[in-house]
Amino acid sequence: MNKSLITNLLSLALLAIGYFTQQTLVLYAGLFAFSGAITNWLAIHMLFEKVPGLYGSGVIPARFEQFKSAIKHLMMDEFFTGQNIENFISNGMSQGKGLDLQPVIEKIDLAPSFDSLTEVILNSSFGGMLAMMGGAEALQPLKQPFIDKMQQSMVEISHSEQVQQAVQDQLHSQSTLNDISTKIESIIDQRLDELTPKMVKEMVQTMIKQHLGWLVVWGGIFGGLIGIISALITAL
C-alpha cells in the first residue's frame, strides 16, 4: 500500500468535492491537505532524485563520498577500535578455552615439507642407498602418513600452555592490534570502493523511504486541519 499516493488522492478528492459543491470548509481542507502532502512527497523525492531547477535536490547521490566516509568512520571509531579488538581477543581466550588453531593447521599444505625432507635424505649419505631402492619414488607411500602425523603434532603443540601464552602475548601487543586494525580498515575501504551512487541511493531508500511515507500522511492530515481552521476564520 502506497501511503503517499493514497493521501494525495484523498486530498485531491476533498478538493474536488469542495470545489464542485461550493463547500468552503471541504474545499479549504482538501486544498491545504493536498498542499501539505504534495510538499512532503516532493521533499522526500528530492532526497533521492535530482530535480532540475531545484537546488539541493538529489542530496544523497550528490553526497556519495561523504556518505561512504561517514560509514567508514562509524565502523572504525565505534566498532573496530583498538580496545574493542583487544576485548574480543581476550573474551575469545578467556575461561581457559585458548585459541583453537586446529582449523588453521588443517588448511596448511605440508606437502612441500615432505618434499624438502625427501631432498635432504637424497643429498645425505643415505642417498646412494635410497637410490638402489627406487629413489624418491620409494618414499612416496610415506607422504600422506607424514602429513597426517605432522598435522597431529602441530595441533598438540598449539594446545600447549606455552604456545597459547605466546600467541596471547603476541595478539595483545600494540603492533599486532595496529596490524589487525589496518587490515580491517583496508577491507572496509575495499567494500566501500565497490559501492556506486546508485547502490547507496537504493540502500538508503530501502531503509527509510517506507517510513518517510508517513510524513506525507501527516502532512496531509495537518494540512487539512489548517485548511479547516482557515475556512472557519475567513467565515467570521
Supply the pLDDT for residue 117: 76
Residue 100's pLDDT band (cuts 50, 70, 90): low
What integer pLDDT is reported at residue 150 of this predicted model? 80
Cα separation, 2 vs 117, in Å, equals: 72
Distance CA 174, CA 181 (A): 10
* pLDDT of 89 higher than 70: no
CB 16 within 8 A of CB 42: no
Each residue of 158-181: pLDDT tens digit? 777 776 666 666 666 767 777 777
Mean pLDDT of all residues in 27-41 = 89
Average pLDDT, the chain: 78
Cell, residue 12: 485531491
Give 51 or 92, the one with higher predicted confidence.
51
Q: Which residues contact 36 (CB under 8 A, 6 or more apart)?
A: 219, 220, 221, 222, 223, 224, 226
The structure's pTM equals: 0.49
pLDDT at 32: 92
Residue 193 confidence class, pLDDT cut points 50, 70, 90: confident
Q: Rounded mean pLDDT of 65-86?
A: 76
